[in-house]
């Protein structure tokens, strides 16, 4: 039996994990001409053109929250594109570590 705090539904409801991207866009960053890792990030996260400015303000930092099982494939895809990232349990998560 799975521990309640490792249950994906429980983690989704509490957004227990964070996907942190350790990459900052250049000041004049245009994803069409800039760093290929930024283009990869936009593609993997499926960021719409209208959402890019918000993403830029969050980098480097948390780009997604949720269950580990849902974030792990995204993190692996980002790493394939050489985007530095990590999964972290949220600091304010009440579950035991």
User: How many domains in the chain?
Assistant: 1
The maximal CA–CA distance of the chain, rounded, in angstroms, is: 51
In-domain check, residue 94: no
In-domain check, residue 2: no
Q: Please, are residues 74 and 45 in contact by the beta-carbon 8 Å criterion?
A: yes
What is the Cα–Cα distance from 89 to 1, expressed in whole angstroms? 21
pLDDT tens over the chain, length 97 residues:
445 557 888 888 888 899 999 998 876 656 556 789 999 999 999 999 999 889 989 999 999 999 999 999 999 999 999 999 999 998 775 555 4
What is the Cα–Cα distance from 17 to 79, expressed in whole angstroms? 17
Q: Can you give the CATH number for the domain in which 54 is found?
A: 3.30.1390
pTM: 0.80
Q: Please, are residues 40 and 78 in contact by the beta-carbon 8 Å criterion?
A: yes
């Amino acid at each position: 039996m799975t521990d309640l705090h490792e249950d994906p539904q429980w983690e989704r409801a509490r957004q227990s994990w964070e996907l942190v991207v350790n990459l900052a866009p250049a000041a004049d960053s245009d994803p069409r001409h800039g760093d290929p890792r930024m283009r990869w990030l936009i593609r993997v996260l499926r960021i719409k053109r209208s959402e890019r400015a918000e993403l830029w303000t969050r980098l480097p930092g948390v780009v997604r929250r949720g269950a580990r099982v849902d974030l792990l494939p995204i993190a692996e895809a980002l790493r394939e594109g050489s985007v530095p990232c990590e999964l972290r349990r949220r600091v304010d998560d009440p579950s035991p570590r």
